[in-house]
Amino acid sequence: MPLHPVAVFRTRITELFGIRHPILLGGMHHLGQSDVVAAVVNAGAMGCITARSFESPDGFRADLRRCRELTDGRPFGVNLTLSRRPGANKDVPDWIEVALAEGVRHFESAGDSPEHLVGPVHRGGGFPAASTPGGR
**Domain spans, the chain:** 12-130
Helix, strand, coil tally for the chain in percent (to 5): 40, 15, 45
As beta bridge partners, residue 111 has 82
Quick one: which of 89, 111, 95 has its CA closest to 57?
Answer: 95
Contact 51, 79 (CB under 8 A): yes
pTM over 0.95: no
pLDDT in tens, 45-83: 999 999 999 999 999 999 999 999 999 989 999 999 888
Domain 12-130 has CATH 3.20.20.70: yes
Contact indicator for 52, 82 with CB cutoff of 8 Å:
no
Neighbours of 28 (CB within 10 A): 17
pLDDT band at 111 (very low <50, low <70, confident <90, very high): confident
**What would the pLDDT profile of 83-99 be if each residue is shown by its tens digit?**
888 788 999 999 999 99
